[in-house]
């Protein structure tokens, strides 16, 4: 089979945060497949065909991309950030595992991207400097009880947490329920960072404590980082947010 399927992470927004490898491959693609806002973000001048779809139709989108590759096209499936983190790479492999046996012979190349948590952490200081975990708060693809259990165990393990997909129109109450649970398990003085649209025009960062954290501070384009018991703030001059970091060593006494 001559077709190829590239699974591409575009990074958090700013083109300077897109890998050189991704920039070099984009002009060679015949077909781009992905969620409309991401596909539209690609400013390639070539005659690439754009196949845009709604956010919820991921498996269908993956099957469509595999079918195009099977027909001999050079296809790019696009995700924001890293394609392997709450994004299309797993969906493509799920489609391969359960779909047309020919798809197992296709050449599949996964190109990494800079995930939102890394871009947000760099703005804040170094909150992910020690053990951390990433949790999607979306209960579209997993039961809410699983999310609560993972939050509880992450709090018990004292991991710094990066929360993706904190709220959406169809999931208005989950984030406050998550904060309520964490407030019952952790010191409420722990730092919580709301990193909105990092590296995009309307980037905005807000630092608060677990006591004050509220779903009102987040939207669909916010990444939340919750510190551990060991994370610290270093105050800076007034106009600047303090640095938020997690030390690399833990000294129990």
Residue for token pair 């987040």: 218
Instruction: Assess contact for 152 and 119: CB atoms under 8 A.
Output: no
| Binds ligand SAH (CB under 6 A): choice among 128, 223, 225, 226 | 223
DSSP letter string, 18-59: S-HHHHHHGGG-SEEEEEHHHHHT----S-PEEEEE-TT-HH
Phi-psi region of 125 (alpha: psi -120 to 50; beta: other; left: phi over 0): left
| Binds ligand SAH (CB under 6 A): choice among 7, 210, 221, 226 | 221
State in angstroms the smallest separation of the CB of 128 from ligand SAH. 13
| Binds ligand SAH (CB under 6 A): choice among 13, 34, 125, 227 | 13
191-196 vs 222-226, strand pairing mode:
antiparallel
Where does residue 234 rank: exposed (0-12), middle (13-18), buried (19+ CB within 10 A)? exposed
Nearest alpha-carbon partner for 83 in 56, 104, 58, 51: 58
Is residue 91 part of the contact set for ligand SAH (CB under 6 A)? Answer: no
Q: Which is nearer to ligand SAH, 125 or 166 (CB)?
A: 166
Q: Give the tokens for residue 27.
A: 């002009």
Nearest alpha-carbon partner for 210 in 237, 180, 246: 180
- The CA distance from 205 to 200, in Å, is 12
| Binds ligand SAH (CB under 6 A): choice among 30, 42, 110, 115 | 115
Q: Which is nearer to ligand SAH, 25 or 67 (CB)?
A: 25
| Binds ligand SAH (CB under 6 A): choice among 38, 103, 132, 164 | 164
Is residue 222 part of the contact set for ligand SAH (CB under 6 A)? Answer: yes
Is residue 213 part of the contact set for ligand SAH (CB under 6 A)? Answer: no
Up-side HSE of residue 46: CA atoms within 13 Å toward CB? Answer: 14
Q: Which stretch binds ligand SAH (CB under 6 A): 18-26, 98-106, 114-122, 148-156?
A: 114-122
x-or-dash string of contact with ligand SAH, 66-85, rule CB under 6 A: -------------xxxx--x
x-or-dash string of contact with ligand SAH, 167-206, rule CB under 6 A: ----------------------------x-xxxx------
Q: Which is nearer to ligand SAH, 30 or 138 (CB)?
A: 138
Query: Binding residues for ligand SAH, how many (CB under 6 A)?
Result: 24
Distances (CA, A) of 149 to 94, 152, 153, 154, 245: 25, 5, 6, 9, 26
Is residue 12 part of the contact set for ligand SAH (CB under 6 A)? Answer: yes
Give me the residues that bind ligand SAH (CB under 6 A), please. Answer: 12-13, 79-82, 85-87, 115-116, 120, 164-166, 195, 197-200, 220-223
């Amino acid at each position: 089979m001559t077709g190829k399927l590239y699974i591409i992470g575009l990074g958090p927004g700013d083109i300077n945060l897109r890998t050189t490898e991704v920039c070099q491959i984009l002009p060679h693609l015949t077909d781009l497949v992905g969620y409309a806002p991401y596909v539209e973000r690609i400013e390639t001048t070539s005659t690439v065909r754009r196949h845009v779809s709604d956010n919820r139709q991921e498996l269908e989108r993956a099957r469509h991309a595999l079918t195009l590759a099977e027909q001999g096209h050079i296809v790019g499936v696009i995700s924001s950030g890293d394609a392997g983190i709450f994004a299309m790479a797993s969906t493509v492999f799920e489609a391969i595992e359960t779909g047309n046996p020919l798809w197992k012979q296709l050449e599949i190349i996964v190109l990494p991207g800079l995930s939102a948590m890394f871009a947000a952490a760099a703005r804040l200081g170094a909150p992910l400097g020690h053990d951390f975990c990433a949790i999607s708060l979306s209960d579209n693809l997993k039961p809410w009880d699983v999310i609560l259990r993972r939050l509880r165990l992450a709090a018990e393990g004292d991991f710094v947490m990066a929360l993706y997909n904190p709220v959406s129109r169809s999931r208005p109450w989950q984030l406050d329920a998550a904060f309520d649970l964490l407030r019952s398990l952790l010191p409420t003085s722990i730092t919580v960072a709301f990193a909105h649209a990092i590296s995009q025009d309307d980037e905005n960062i807000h630092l608060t404590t677990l006591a004050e954290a509220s779903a009102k501070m987040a939207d669909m384009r916010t990444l939340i980082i919750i510190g551990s018991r060991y994370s610290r703030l270093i105050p800076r001059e007034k106009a600047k947010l303090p640095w938020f970091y997690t030390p690399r060593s833990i000294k129990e006494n």
